[in-house]
Amino acid sequence: MNELRRDELTGRSVLVAENRAHRPFDVGYPGAVITGQYDPNCPFCAGNEHITPHAIDTLPSETDWQVRVVPNKYPAVAPEAPHAGVHEVLVESPRHVARLGELSCDEVTGVLTMYGRRLRYWRQQGRYPYQLLFKNCGGAGGASLQHVHSQLVALATVPPLIVRERTAAERHFAEHGSCLMCDSIRRELTEQQRIVWQSAELVAICPPVSRQALETWIVPRDHSATFDEWLDSPAALAELAEGLLRTLREIEHRTAETGYNLMLFTLGDSAANPAAHHWRIEIVPRLASFAGFELATGLYLNAISPERAAAELRAALESA
């Protein structure tokens, strides 16, 4: 059963997806196969393709794949459900590795290429106005399988939090004639307090309102509304792969016992104004658990300021 429920008192929305409870789980279990080794029981290892549904897309080819996309066998949403959508799994390596940071820069470029291909496909279909690409890594990050993978969910209904974000972005554009994220990036580059790294095309920051310690966003310096635009620039995509890989290796080192979440936000709604929206990658380390205060108030407690976090990450990356 897949059902979207909304509480009238709090306005909170919850997606009930009971079939998710039946998905396989190997993260945190004793005896799990050591990363790097072939696991005959892992549905994502090369050679075990028969365990998963037939591939929707592969890169570079179906017989010699490096990235493979399959329908999720335990989807959070389904095309025929009242809250309609699709749910895909992007297997990011044929090898049994647990972290994206274990891949090479060329391999990460391939992963990002597939991200763009799948996001572009669903955006062009026009059926689902919201698409989210996300990664759960480690037990605290919500991962159920060790093998490195991401997920894509495309929804027929834009979630309330995203509606609020898009409304704010379009209000800012209407009032100032500029993109809210572009203005924020210019301010961050001027102040230089929360910059983790910057390159010709990109900037990584610890956002001023970070939910978790060391939370890092990677955003294009110039305006870009949809991530798949970057497929048209191999040099920019390679630059992103290099910066993302360096950042993840440092964060994965610091979250080895917990995990993190990675989310790629991009505009997928043709009804929205592309001049007002800016794609971004959010990396949220899970160094602290959500407890009663967060659950009751919707507020997050962060023990490390974004300014200090940026300084720590910047120093670590510069010395690496």
- Give the CA distances from residue 36 to residues 21, 90, 97, 118, 119, in Å, rounded to whole numbers and listed in that order: 27, 18, 5, 27, 29
Average pLDDT value over all residues in the chain: 90
- The span from the CA of 272 to the CA of 274, in Å, is 6
What's the confidence (pLDDT) of residue 239? 98
Residue 69 has φ and ψ, to the nearest 5°, of -115, 130
Within 10 angstroms of residue 47's Cβ, the number of other Cβ atoms is 11
Domains 19-155 and 179-319 share a fold: yes
CA 203 to chain centre: 17
For position 29, what pLDDT does the model report?
45
pLDDT at position 234: 94
Tell me what pLDDT residue 31 has.
46
DSSP for residue 186: H
The pLDDT of residue 30: 44
Tally of CA atoms within 13 A in the half-sphere of 132 that contains its CB: 19
- CB under 8 Å to 165, separation ≥6 — which residues? none
Report which secondary-structure segment, H or E, holds 216. Answer: strand 216-220
116 near 142, Cβ under 8 Å? no
- Find the Cα–Cα–Cα–Cα dihedral 63, 111, 124, 201, rounded to 10°: -150
- Residues of the chain where predicted confidence (pLDDT) is lower than 50: 29-32
CA distance 233 to 246: 20
pLDDT value at residue 190: 97
pLDDT one-digit tens code per residue, 136-191: 998 888 888 889 999 999 999 999 899 999 999 999 999 999 999 999 999 999 99
Provide the pLDDT for residue 27: 58
The structural domains of the chain, with segments of one domain joined by +, span 19-155, 179-319
Q: Write down the number of H helices and E strands in the chain.
A: 6, 12
The candidate with the shortest Cα–Cα distance to 277, out of 240, 223, 231, is 223
DSSP state at residue 33? P
Fold classified for 19-155? HIT family, subunit A (3.30.428)
179-319 — its CATH code? 3.30.428.10
Q: In 77-151, where does DSSP find H-type helix?
A: 105-125
The pLDDT score that the predictor gives to residue 11 is 63
Indicate left, alpha or beta for 312 from its phi (over 0: left) and psi (-120 to 50: alpha).
Answer: alpha
Longest dimension (CA), the chain: 57
